[in-house]
Every structure is written in structure tokens, then in C-alpha cells.
Amino acid sequence: MKVLRDKRIQFILTGIIFILLVNVLPIKSSTYTILTSCVIYSIAALGFNVLLGYTGQISLGHAAFIGLGAYVSAFVTQDLKLPFLVGLLAAGVVPILLGLVLGLAALRLEGHFLAIASLGFGVAIQQTFKVLTGLTGGFTGKTAPSAVIFGAKLKGGPEYLAFAVIVLVILCIFVYNIYNSKTGRAFIAMRDSVHAAQAMGIDVVKYKLIAFSISAFYSGIAGSIYIHLVKYTQPDVWGIVLSINLLGMVVIGGLASIGGSIIGASFITLVPDIVLEIPVLKDIPSSGTIFTGLAIILVIRFIPEGVIHVIGRVKGKIFKSGGKKNELTESTESVN
């Protein structure tokens, strides 16, 4: 059973089980859309966690990267008539260029100064979406075709959800591998002590730019999967609310944790929909948003390390496992 201890195998198995379940269980078609949204935001949160959780850099403009990915993917598939997978790849690569620009700003700014600068950056990009009508269609919005892979059209519902899950699993494995290598160690060393990192030969400029590139890439991929699900977008979607939600996902789920990113993303995505199912609450206007805010406050007050750590603790109590290796996400508070 040693194979099962490998996190990467766990990701793959979880993905397969999830895909099988959603295909077998009787699920409404609207539920598929919600679940696919969870997967999409999980991808974005995963990338955002590379930045915030591992490298300690904040950004309040990340919605712009997701939006850019969405527009690029729509442009490549709709206007250039290129295959969906080309659009997906372009949606990942193009935001990297923007990520590098924000990364360069991060070289000179820290903490709340970086937060404000990235906020401005996000707003500027969102405004650009409004005027750059050639790419985005401006306020009219932009449509995108259904995803087609090697001639096979992915129908909405279970097929597209399965595709999104596969992408998520691959990206989880990528990020897991990076965390457990030279680059991941450099990220964490930089976050905990810039001076020590430099003294050990870590080029802070290089690794900050890498972190911003990875998170921009993940955001762009999320944007691409989003637009081929919804098939339409307009600039208002890519504003500050989404950026803050992304921050909420990572904080609620757990900083510097892959599982935490997914749990946080699912939480923020699902809460408004669940609230709408409850009889009394659904009559209150914007009750979903209110409950999301409430949930963030409660989590920060009672489990500041994130939901994933509660799960970890419960699991630890049940199995009493002593595996300490790679538990980088372990909270340090108790240790110091």
C-alpha cells in the first residue's frame, strides 16, 4: 500500500473516483455547472496559493489574469478558428507576460503596498477589457464555442466536468512536484527569510518572477475552462469581487496547501448556491454573499490556519500516523 502514500497517486485516484461518481449518480444539469465552477476556481486558487501561501506575495488583481485567459481562449477559438487545446494553452501562456509585469512591481513593493499596487493593476486590466473591443467585444461581451478535443465535442455536463477534473489533477501534480523540488524550497525560504534565502544563493528576483508566472498561468487556464463552460463573458465579471473571493478561497481552505486550495474554492463557490436552497434565506436579497462573508469571518476567527488543517488534525487523531515528511503545510504556531 506504499504506492497509496504518494500524494500524486492520491490526486489521480481522487480524480478518477470523482469522475465516476458524477457519471453514475443522478445529478441535475445545473449541478454539473456548479461542480465545474468549483473545479475552475480550484485551479485558480491553486495558482494563487503558489503566490500567497508559498512565496508570501499578495495580489488583489488576480481576476484580471483569469479574465485575460478567458478572452484569449475565446479569441483563439472563435476568431482565429484554432482548436480548443491551442486556446487553452494560449490562455495559460499569455497571462504569464502580464504576471511578469506585476512580478516586477513586486520586486520593489512588499505587503500592503503590493496589495494596493496589484489592486490598481487589476482595475487597469479590467478597464482595458472594456476598451479593447477587438479582443473582448467591450461591453457587448465575447462569446466562445463549445470545447472540441480531437474532433470530439465535449458536451456540457459530465463530459466537460470530467475534462476540467483531469486538468485540475494534472495541475495539482505539477504544483506538488514543484513544491518538493529546488524551486519550491526557494519559494518557502524566500517567504520565511529573504536574507537567508539570498545568502544561500537564491536569486530572489528570479523566483518571485517564477511564482508570479505560475500563478498567472494557472489563472489563465481557469479562465479558458470557464469561458468554454459559460460560453459568454463581459468585463464586469473580472473585477475586485472575484479577486477578493480568490483571496478568501485560499485563506479559508488553507495557505500553502493543495487540498486547502480546492476546499476553499469549492466552499466559496458552493455557499451561495446552498443558501439559495434554504427556504427562508433564499428570499433575502444577496443572502449568498452575506453568508460567504460570514463564513470568512468565522473561519479566520476560529480556524485561522484554514479548513484543511482541521481535516488533517482529525485524520491524525484517527490514524495516529507519524508521517512527518512533506507536511510543509503543518502549522508552525505550535512549534515555535
Partner 1 sequence: MSLLKVQNLSISFGGLKAVDSLNFEVPQNSIYGLIGPNGAGKTTVFNCISRFYTPDEGSVMFYPEENEVDLLKLKVHEVVSKKMVRTFQNVELVKMMTVMDNLLIGLHHEIKTNFFQEALGLAKLKEKMYHDKAREVLKFLGLEKIENEIAGAQAYGVQKLIELGRTLMSEPKLIILDEPAAGMNHTETEALAVLIRRIRDELGISVLLVEHDMALVMKICEKLCVISFGKKIAEGTPEEIQNNKEVQAAYLGGEE
Which positions lie near partner 1, rule CB under 8 A? 8, 173-174, 177-178, 180-186, 188-189, 192-193, 195-204, 210, 324-325, 327-328, 330, 332, 335-336
- Nearer to partner 1 by Cβ, of 29 and 336: the residue is 336
What's the rounded Cα separation, in Å, for the pair 105 and 98? 11
CB of 204 to partner 1, least distance (A): 7
- Nearer to partner 1 by Cβ, of 30 and 326: the residue is 326
What's the rounded Cα separation, in Å, for the pair 245 and 112? 18
Cell of 57: 506575495
- Nearer to partner 1 by Cβ, of 26 and 323: the residue is 323
CB of 323 to partner 1, least distance (A): 9
* Nearest by Cα to 190 from 212, 168, 174: 212
What's the rounded Cα separation, in Å, for the pair 285 and 268? 18
- Nearer to partner 1 by Cβ, of 160 and 218: the residue is 218
Could you give the count of Cα atoms lying within 13 Å of 234 in the half-sphere of its Cβ?
Answer: 5
- Nearer to partner 1 by Cβ, of 169 and 296: the residue is 169
Could you give the count of Cα atoms lying within 13 Å of 260 in the half-sphere of its Cβ?
Answer: 33
What's the rounded Cα separation, in Å, for the pair 264 and 61? 18
What's the rounded Cα separation, in Å, for the pair 63 and 243? 5
CB of 47 to partner 1, least distance (A): 13
CB of 11 to partner 1, least distance (A): 12
CB of 190 to partner 1, least distance (A): 10
CB of 336 to partner 1, least distance (A): 6
| Alpha carbon separation from 32 to 36, 159, 229, 230, 279 (Å, rounded) | 6, 10, 10, 12, 22
142 strand-pairing partners: 233
Helix, strand or coil, per DSSP, at residue 149 = strand
- Nearer to partner 1 by Cβ, of 81 and 195: the residue is 195
- Nearer to partner 1 by Cβ, of 184 and 288: the residue is 184
CB of 170 to partner 1, least distance (A): 10
Contact 272, 292 (CB under 8 A): yes
* Nearest by Cα to 56 from 105, 114, 99: 114
Rg over CA atoms, the chain: 20
